[in-house]
Structure 1
Amino acid sequence: MPLQRSTTADKNIVDRRQPHRNSDVARAVRKTRDRLAQQAGNPDFDREMLKLHARAMVGGALFLPGLILVVTIAGTTAGMGSQMLVWGGVALLLNAVLLVVAQRIDKTDAALIKPGSARREFLFAHALSGLGWAHFALLGCTACAVDQFHVVKAVTLLLAMAATAIMTSSLSGALLATFALPVIAYAYASKWPMAPIDMMMLALLAVALPFLSYVARHLNRSSVMLLSFRSEKDALIAELETAKAMSDEARHRAEEANLAKSRFLASMSHELRTPLNAILGFSEVMANEVLGPVGNETYKDYAGDIHQSGQHLLNLINEILDLSRIEAGRYQLQEEPVELALLAEDSCHMMELRARNKGIRIVQQFEPTLPRLFADERAIRQILLNLLSNAIKFTPTGGEIRVRVGWTAGGGQYISVKDNGPGIPQDEIPVVLAAFGQGAIAIKNAEQGTGLGLPIVQGLVAMHGGEFELHSQLREGTEAIVIFPPSRVMEELPALPTRIAANAGW
């Protein structure tokens, strides 16, 4: 039966057939920046400004018609009669044309707006509405009871000009297109020679038009800045959404890859340990000549080498599985009261033979009467053995390893393992703390390890809520410090009074 490979798991982990999104995302961000980071004259920018102008005109749709109605009612009441009603109707009709254009452009999608055509439509509509105000400037009031009618007309035109200047700030030239003709009509309708007050009103209108145009231009700059700030905000939001999408995708892929790794390790650990047990068992039987003499010392040595190599491979598998469980959060702490100094002493005793074979002295410095620690005994023992193993590995013959256990300044407890080996360069400390990371000195050393000891120590210390520090200087040695928080230090129980102890039968 041919071997069939399941593609389902691989597909769930990383689907290589799915196109990578980075290029699409980069293209979308570039397009957004090109659309939003713009200046006047750019078609997209002009479309946005025209949309702003249309919204302003629609938003202020009631002011100018309301002003026209008020003036119409006031003029009719003052005795101007039908001519005022005719003007009011014409002015409202022309203003309605402008509002229709504004509403149409406001409802049109920005991408479909033709900037040049829309700008001409707006200016033409403003000029049409200006015809109504020019008609108002030409009105006379010979039979009405209003004194200084020219002053009233000038004030009304000034109000209309000010309101228009505010609403048309997003479209340059709109104010001039609307009120240039009404100002000329006002001058034409004035009586010559003009009275001083009429001259003052005409001068005021003539000055007000460029002044309000200047104000409108500054308001236009404010609109441009508002659009720019909104564009920058939209760009930032677009980039944040892009980054979030990329982060979610990367997290999803990482979770699937981590799941695949866990499945692989679980499967491979079982598959590797089964033959390893046989290799270790049979090689130990052969090396110890349990079933009788081998007859050849070379074969006996080979059997010992097989057993040693198999044991090394088993330790490597166990370390990989430990690190995998720690990273996956599946390492369960079996917490109980432990004596840190006693565990350190036992660990030093276990490593004493290995250190003595290299001529290394282990010095123990433990503070007396340390209270017990609420922690996982197996995890702390593994921490100590890993640190001592590293120290022995890199300490030269005749060197010294100093193991200290004591109080921290904050009320916690610490373990310190310091050697006088070659040390680690500062730039390599992050490397040796990473999984499978080894420094240059470790690579040159004859006793190379797997690079998993310190990452396992970091993970176990973090699970206890502690801190791990690694200090090293070249040619001065290395010190590894494990700090347990004060919350894990157990308080000493007070001694029971003699009477209570006697009653309890102690």
Structure 2
Amino acid sequence: MSTGVSTSTDKIIVDRSRSHRNKAVSKAVRATRERLQSSTKGNQVFDRDMLGMHVTSVLQGASVVPLFVVLVTAVGLYLDSDPQFLAWALLMLSVHALNVFVSRRANRKEISATEVQVWRRRLMAAQLLVGVGWAAFALQSCNGCSGDTYYFYKGAVLLLAVSITAMSSFMLRLGMLIGFLPTVATLVGIAVFSRSALDIGMAAMCAVAVVFFHYIGDRLYRSNLTLMSYQSEKDDLIAELEVAKSMSDEARRRAEEANLAKSRFLASMSHELRTPLNAILGFSEVMSSEVLGPLNNPTYKEYSGDIHRSGQHLLNLINEILDLSRIEAGRYDLAEEALSLLEIAEDCIGMVQLRARGKSITIRQQFEPELPLVWADEKSMRQVLLNLLSNAVKFTPQGGEVTVKVGWTAGGGQYVAIKDNGPGIPEEEIPVVLSAFGQGSIAIKSAEQGTGLGLPIVQAILAKHDGQFILRSKLREGTEAIAILPATRVLQSVPAVADAPAVERRRKSFA
């Protein structure tokens, strides 16, 4: 019967309930993609930003124009005391105040995308009024001036006015060109009616200056537009990276929680899994040994033996899985005490000796004499050595040899090295066999396969002891597994090197 829930939901990694955290970032990413993929809008998406920069420029330079007008008026009154200069100054300050007022209103208001063109026209109209003020200046004449002095004065003032306007309004596209259109038109009209060479030259000079500064302003406008586009793309890429990082963090968190829940579940299932298996093992052993009486059918005895061996194999696998799960769940506690690595090594060799003799494997011992005790968990260290010895015997061929060494390390710790002359492990497969459930190609082809948890458990146990595990192997030459306990675990100082030359050689080999 269907449960009504799609199995695909199990594959959802990111917690959708937390999506509100990334709404702003996701919205920015979508807006960026739409902008970058749209070829019809072009750079119009930055019009609001450009208007804002123009308004800021006008407000920051609001005091420049009045000072310039006062200076121009003062020089004009010096050349000719005609009050027309005062009237022009009043007109110019008024239109400038109107321009600043419009800019200040635009600065205070949050301009929406639909209002951009409206405010652009308002700012353009204010700029045009400023141009009308300069056109009024171009209409003035100087009756008391002699020679070409007034033409020089007027030309210098208009050129400075064009440059000041260009610097403050290049963010408003076509603003400077439209603003000085009345001035140029006035100068052209004066030149047409007077037909004076000086008036014609004045009109031509002002027109060329307006065109030139318009070109420079347009280039600056486009440069700023490009910089804003790059900045926007950078910000949006950062936003997209933030979304990806958030999703990755959430996926990692959920994976870690799932892994921890798995480890805790398996660690807590130790009693529930082992109890029925122990019952199966006990009853099958009673049946195979015929404790309660002979079995009439010999096949039943064979079956009970198969049940016992299979149950024992399953129990060993479960024990390995539970051990690794407890370690991952942080529930693997060490019962530390003073113990001898030599004695543990000898006991473990005795436990695998029968199996080694069945394959005609010779186990050689090279033990450093009188090693001091170490502070460690005896059960864990027995498990380490049994795992390594079992692997060595398992993969060593008939008539092979296994060498067990126990001695000092170069750093003052103690080591146990188990070396066989089996088929070895390819160098590129060593990280695989050291990972959980990892098996090399030799192990996969072997008739005796396990879970692939033996070496990871060895690594984890040694790490709990602040130790180290080293695996060295060469294909068709054999494998050497080295379990190292640090000097802090040794309960006695390292013996003098001068008294034991052989110790120095072993230290160098494990340096």
Q: TM-score, normalized by length of structure 1?
A: 0.77
**Letter paired with 2:30:** K
Query: Aligned Cα RMSD in Å?
Result: 4.2
Matching residue within 38, 50, 55 for 1:53: 50
Q: In the alignment, is residue 88 of structure 1 matched against residue 89 of structure 2?
A: no
Contact 2:267–2:329 under 8 Å retained in 1:
no
1:319 partner letter:
E
User: Does the 8 Å CA contact 1:91/1:129 hold for their aligned counterparts?
Assistant: yes
CA 364–163 in structure 1, closer or farther in 2 if over 3 Å, else same? farther
Given the alignment, which residue of 98, 106, 110 partners 1:107? 110
SS in 2 for 1:401: strand
Q: Distance in 2 between matches of 1:383 and 1:175?
A: 85
Alignment partners' CA distance in 2, 1:251 and 1:17: 11
Q: CA deviation at 1:290?
A: 3.0
Distance 1:72 1:166, change over 3 A: closer
Partner residue of 1:318? 319
Deviation at 1:320, TM superposition (A): 1.0
- For structure 1, the 5+ residue unaligned runs are 495-506
Give, as a single letter, the amino acid of the residue that structure 2 aligns with 1:477: G
- Amino acid corresponding to residue 56 of structure 2 in structure 1: G
**C-alpha displacement of 1:73:** 3.7
Report the AA paired with residue 334 of structure 2. L
Q: How many angstroms apart in 2 are the aligned matches of 1:372 and 1:80? A: 113
The residue that corresponds to 2:418 in the other structure is 417
Does the 8 Å contact 2:260/2:329 carry over to 1? no
Shift of 1:84: 1.9
Taking the aligned partners of 2:335 and 2:159, their CA distance within structure 1 comes to 86
- In structure 2, what is the equivalent of residue 233 of structure 1? 234
1:11-36 per-residue CA deviation (whole Å, 9 max, x = no partner) reads 99989996998xx9998687355246
**How far does residue 397 in structure 1 lie from its aligned partner after superposition?**
0.9
- Deviation (angstroms), 1:396: 0.9
Aligned-partner SS, 2:431: helix
- Kindly state the Cα deviation for residue 490 of structure 1 after the two structures are TM-superposed: 4.9
Between 1:361-370 and 1:24-33, the stretch displaced more is 24-33
Structure 2 letter corresponding to 1:345: E
Distance between the aligned counterparts of 1:413 and 1:299, measured in 2? 50
Distance 1:71 1:349 in 2: 105
Q: Match of 1:303, as an amino acid?
A: S
* Counterparts in 2 of 1:285 and 1:103: CA distance versus 1, 3 Å: same
Shift of 1:321: 0.9
Give 1:465's aligned amino acid: D
| Structure 1 position 322, deviation (Å) | 0.8
- Percent identity between matched residues is 51
Does residue 464 in structure 1 map to residue 465 in structure 2?
Answer: yes
Range 216-225 or range 314-323, more displaced:
216-225
2:302 aligns to what?
301
Q: What secondary structure is seen at the aligned counterpart in 1 of 2:63?
A: helix
Q: Is the 8 A contact 1:466 1:484 kept in 2?
A: yes
CA separation of 1:218/1:13 partners in 2, compared to 1, >3 Å: closer, same or farther? closer
Contact 1:410/1:486 (8 A) holds in 2: yes
CA distance in 1 between partners of 2:468 and 2:388 (Å): 15
Q: Secondary structure at the match of 2:403?
A: strand
Aligned equivalents of 2:494 and 2:436: distance in 1? 41
Cα distance in 2 for partners of 1:480, 1:278 equals 36
Given the two structures, how large is their TM-score scaled by the length of structure 2?
0.77
For the residue of structure 1 that corresponds to 2:58, the secondary structure is: coil
The 5 Å alignment of 1:198-237 reads 205=206, 208-237=209-238
CA drift at 1:453: 0.9
The alpha-carbon deviation at position 409 of structure 1 amounts to 4.6
Residue by residue over 1:474-503, the C-alpha shift from the partner in whole angstroms, topping out at 9 and shown as x without a partner, is 322223333444554555299xxxxxxxxx
- Work out whether residues 467 and 482 of structure 1, in 8 Å CA contact, stay in contact via their aligned partners in 2: yes
Aligned residues: 477
Shift of 1:384: 1.7
Measured after TM superposition, the shift of residue 56 of structure 1 is 1.6
Q: List alignment gaps of at least 5 residues for structure 2.
A: 496-511
1:17-56 equivalences under 5 Å are: 31-35=30-34, 37=36, 43=41, 45-48=43-46, 50-56=47-53
Aligned counterparts of 1:185 and 1:297: Cα–Cα separation in 2: 126
**Range moving further from structure 2, 482-491 or 52-61:** 482-491
What is the aligned partner in structure 1 of residue 266 from structure 2?
A: 265
Summarize the Cα distance change of 1:398–1:114 in structure 2 as closer, same or farther, 3 Å threshold.
farther
Q: Indicate the residue corresponding to 1:503 in structure 2.
A: none
Aligned to 1:378: 379
Q: Which amino acid aligns with 1:46?
A: Q
